[in-house]
Amino acid sequence: MKYTLIGSFTSPYARKMRILLSTLGPFEFKSINYLEQADSNFLKSINPINQIPILLVGDTKIFDSRVIYNYLAKTHQLKELTLEEENRLSAIDAAMNTSINLFSLRRGGLDLNSGNTYVERQKERIPLILNYLSPWVKTLNSKEPAHWNFVTMSLYSYLYWGEFRQILDLSEFHEMRLFLENFKDAPGVIETTPPA
């Protein structure tokens, strides 16, 4: 089966799919920059929800990272996620969405410290989610292969992106910093590191 993943090098959603795909075998990665008009037009022409990543499997287009994972899990007989893992993944994706929204607002010129009610509510979500995930993160061991799975790949991609984009301050989340350090050599991480 030939897979083509469309995304950007910096997107945490695309990166977690690149990490997962790298553990499953060869695939093609087509990088786009939705800030460039040609790439933006291309994305709109192939994806009605106008977001990345997109997985192409022959003529089939799969639009969302969660749906892509479900497809790959069935196709490659990956371990089914437990309800607890699904909840963690939902929390990580919520933190990612929130952080991407904040990043986009900041890039659009909004002062994230202006006291804007919407922004403040978004900013409140991130520490709540990190605190929820912290007890689980403390149990992870980078030397245990089973601990490197789609949920931890998702968390790694999010935390790395958040620091890279200066949206996350992990100074009060020691276990998250330790997680990034401990899993920096996990399969697929080095190969998918975004360019500086």
Q: What is the pLDDT of residues 82-104, one digit of tens each?
A: 999 999 999 999 999 999 999 99
Q: What is the pLDDT of residue 34?
A: 79
Q: Residues 169-191: what's their mean pLDDT?
A: 96
Domain ranges of the chain: 3-75, 83-192
For residue 196, pLDDT beyond 90: no
Q: What is the pLDDT of residue 60?
A: 95
Q: For residue range 97-130, what is the model confidence (pLDDT) as tens digits?
A: 999 999 999 999 999 999 999 999 999 999 999 9
The closest alpha carbon to 159, from 141, 182, 191, 187, belongs to: 182
pLDDT band at residue 35 using 50, 70 and 90 as cut-offs: confident
Contact status, residue 22 vs residue 192, Cβ threshold 8 Å: yes
pLDDT over 70 for what percent of the chain? 99
Architecture of domain 83-192: Up-down Bundle (1.20)
Q: What angle (nearest 5°) sits at the alpha carbon of residue 32, between those of residues 29 and 37? A: 160
List the single range of 5-14, 32-41, 148-157 with lowest mean pLDDT.
32-41
In the structure, how many helices (H) and strands (E) does the chain have? 7, 4
CATH 3.40.30.10 fits 3-75, yes or no: yes
Which residue type is seen at 71? Y
Q: Residues 171-192: what's their mean pLDDT?
A: 96
* C-alpha count within 13 angstroms, C-beta hemisphere, residue 73: 13
Q: What is the pLDDT of residue 31?
A: 94
For residue 1, pLDDT beyond 80: no
Q: Which residue is listed with tokens 């790959």?
A: 72
Phi, psi angles (nearest 5°) of residue 124: -65, -30
Which residue type is seen at 17? M
The closest alpha carbon to 154, from 57, 89, 74, 61, belongs to: 89
Q: What angle (nearest 5°) sits at the alpha carbon of residue 87, between those of residues 95 and 56? A: 75
How buried is residue 151: exposed, middle or buried, by Cβ count under 10 Å (0-12/13-18/19+)? buried
